[in-house]
Chains A and B, each alone.
Chain A
């Protein structure tokens, strides 16, 4: 069966420090991959999605970037974190475009 993992579960980082959040999927090939941010009172915002290795679509201009170095690995990064980057980050995958998305457990990021 397919599973999706995210780590770390919780992260506290100072302003200006770099960031790397990792997401991996098991049990499937060539998934569509997604990064979301869930902020209090603002719902779920799509940040990036990828339909294949090296193919990244950015949804909102921001301080973050994403990469997909392997088929089932999706990384969210920042060179210098801002206070406004704090939030709950969710990774998701779907088998084909427009299909059900399956979510990871999320990473709680606090930037101080």
Chain B
């Protein structure tokens, strides 16, 4: 069955430490992949998408087809990065996103 896995429910790091939020998928072909973020008391919003190959708020994500992964990385965590992060590939013939269960990132001082 096609699925997306975010193995960590909670990830706690110190400010200034590197961050890696894991995402693995099992979809065939070359899926379009997104990372969404939900900050406290804000709406769920797009963080980045792999096709744009850009860095947003210092975060990057590389699609590794061999490992079927799309891990989200940032070299130096900031306190404002604390949020819930969701990995989401496009599925259903391009009509929908399938969200992972999410990882709560907590950046401690």
Contacts and interface: CB of A to CB of B under 8 A. Distances in A.
B43 A104 contact: yes
B99 interface: yes
Contact of B46 (A32, A44, A100): A100
B13 interface: no
Interface string B82-109: 0000100010111111111110000000
B102 A103 contact: no
B102 A32 contact: no
B98 A46 contact: yes
Contacts, number: 51
Interface in B1-40: 6, 9, 32, 34, 36
Interface in A32-73: 32, 34, 36, 41-46, 49, 51, 57, 59
Interface of A: 32, 34, 36, 41-46, 49, 51, 57, 59, 90, 92, 97-98, 100-106
Given A44-B99, A98-B94, A102-B46, 10 more contacts: A34-B96, A36-B99, A41-B9, A44-B44, A46-B97, A92-B44, A97-B95, A100-B34, A101-B36, A104-B43
